Amino acid sequence: MAEQIADRRDIEFVLFDQLKVDELCQLEQFSDFNKKTFTMLINEARKFAVKEILPTYQEGDREGVKFENGKVIIPECYRRPFNLLREAEFTSMTEDPEYGGQGLPESIAIAAAEYLVGTNFAFATYSFLGHGTGKMIELLGTQKQKEIYLKKLYTAEWGGTMLLTEPNAGSDVGLLETTAKRNDDGTFTLTGNKIFITSGDHDLTENIIHPVLARIEGAPKGTKGVSLFIVPKYWVNEDGSMGEANDIVCTGVEEKMGIHGSATCSMALGSKGKCRGVILGQENKGMKVMFHMMNEARLGVGLQSFAHASNAYLYALNYAKQRVQGRALEDALDHSAPAVAIINHPDVRRMLLEMKSHVEGMRSFTYYTANCFDKSVTARTQEERDKNKMLSELLTPVLKTYNSQRGFDMCVKAMQVFGGAGYTKDYPVEQLTRDCKIASIYEGTDGIQAMDLLARKLGMNQGKVFLDFINEITDVVTKAKPFEQLKGIARNTEILLQRLADSAMHMGTTAMSGKFKVAFAHSVPFLEVMGDTVMAWMLLWRANIASEKLGDNPKKKEIPFLEGQIKSADFFINNITPMTLGKIDSIIASGDAAITIGNDSF
């Protein structure tokens, strides 16, 4: 059952062979760790996830969240693993031990989280959202706020949320209507309504700390007048003790397609005129603060969606090896020939390899982005720190969107391998598919991420960041060319990379012209092209390493895994990227039908 979560061998390959994360231990910040301790921690996360969290996956989905008599009732099966997870100190792996963290690199924490989050994302929402709340307070809060909130949030003694969305202000946050009125004691009284609030209310923790976006009375309209407030479920006194219940309540929970065990709440603030909060950071700078949490959340969504795909692929692979159906193709006319496992059928093999290549590429992409976060802080020179910081900012919208799209696609593909059985609740791929879909919607839809990429990220530092990205891929292509078995896919990756650069130039030029609407109509396809290019990069990089190891006479048991890396790259680059080139042709052609069609003609 454990191997239906994540491929442990592949995780180690990415961490230690591809990214060489153990080299971080040479830095003073991580000198207390070594490769062995990293491995032990991931092993413990895996064991915990398998034993405690995985059994809650289907049970929590079927029980779901209930809202009765004004109270949110979570699946009962979540209580034990939540308490044990907190005791095991898994809720804040990267933070300073002073605040209850373990001081780990992001690169190792993301690997552990693949198990802890990937086994049951609905459960994980209660466990890890407080980390984002704490991070905002750590970065921009007062010393007193840090003393009161950080350790309790990082250790999940208190929960956290993100109160951003409103009924009339979804993606356009500047339209929010929640107001904040100054009080004589320095606090604010808040009034408003928020919707789609993950873990907005529950009783797993003794308090829930809500970061709330609101507009102080008299502040400018739009996002320039938005401030961020700390609004506890129970008021927190100056000495850190809890006071009376605050006037912030859940008014209902959503019935959703998936993640049934996660409480998605509607929240009312100040219905009795007594909702108090304190400002976090500077007045009218709320969006700047919130982006810190949103970027972390988008990395988490990228992890969530590819972890669903990983689970679905491994379930499908296991099923394909066991399910006997139909004769081998070469024996199709021999009615006396025995039936074979469906993994022997060419189309099933194609689907499995498509899933395998995507999952491996997405794992490398996710871990690489986390590793950029590490290097943006730990690299030896300021130039390297800045380069990695900018690369992580460029890649975050691509990671969030691409993994969300392809993660869902791979879950659907897994269901197809199962056939009719996969469409039933007898097998977990049905739930994985439902649960994965939300990833492309929340924390900024695909369209929002693509607009961010086109409008803000491509032109960062006069285009130097995008050029650094191109150069990183070029280095991998250059290293692949000496390997005979990689020459063809290296050449194809090089062609794709040049075409990506051409399309980026075209998109930038079009966006700056009078046809900017046409450019934005093609922004999601462009992001998808960039995502496919990242996959080719990551898979070719893997194939390089595998080719080197195969040339060093590896142990016999390692050979299938290493050969599998080359086949994944071969399949993706030769079978998927030709379609990517067609998408690039479409982008450069700049068809304007979506812009010029009349509203009444839809």
Task: Please give the single-letter amino acid code of residue 66.
Answer: K
C-alpha count within 13 angstroms, C-beta hemisphere, residue 116: 29
What are the residues whose beta carbons fall under 8 Å from the beta carbon of 340, sequence distance 6 or more? 324, 326, 327, 328
What is the dihedral angle through the alpha carbons of 60, 64, 67, 71, rounded to the nearest 10 degrees? Answer: 10
Maximum distance among all alpha carbons in the chain? 89
Q: Any catalytic annotation for residue 443? A: yes
523-550 vs 487-511: helix crossing angle, rounded to 10: 160
Among the listed residues 538, 503, 501, the one whose alpha carbon sits nearest the alpha carbon of residue 523: 503
Q: Give the C-alpha distances (Å, rounded to integers) separating 374 from 26, 328, 446.
A: 13, 49, 26
DSSP category for residue 156: T
Look-up: residue for tokens 């995985």? 54
103, 32 in Cβ contact below 8 A? Answer: yes
Structure tokens at 595: 């812009």
* Cα–Cα distance, 359 to 309 (Å, whole number): 6
The closest of 531, 572, 480 to 365, measured between CA atoms, is 531
**Residue 257, token pair as written in the block:** 């397609």
Contact 78, 123 (CB under 8 A): yes
User: Which candidate, 127, 120, 138, 121, places its Cα nearest to that of 92?
Assistant: 127
Helix (H) or strand (E) holding 277: strand 276-279
Residue 517 φ/ψ, nearest 5 degrees: -65, -35
Instruction: List b or e across 204-239, with b for residues whose CB sees 16 or more CB atoms inside 10 angstroms.
Output: bbebbbbbbbbbbeebeeebebbbbbbbbbbbbeee
- DSSP assignment of 385-439 equals HHHHHHHHHHHHHHHHHHHHHHHHHHHHHHHHHHGGGGGSTTSTHHHHHHHHHGG
Per annotation, catalytic residue among 354, 360, 443, 528: 443
- Can you read off the two tokens belonging to residue 581? 């080139």
107 burial level (CB within 10 Å; 0-12, 13-18, 19+): buried
In one letter, which amino acid is 398?
A: V
214 CB-near residues (< 8 Å, 6+ apart): 176, 178, 179, 180, 188, 190, 192, 226, 227, 229, 277, 286
Do residues 280 and 230 touch, judged by C-beta distance below 8 A?
A: yes
Q: What string of DSSP letters covers 514-530?
A: TTHHHHHHTHHHHHHHH
Active-site annotation, residues = 443
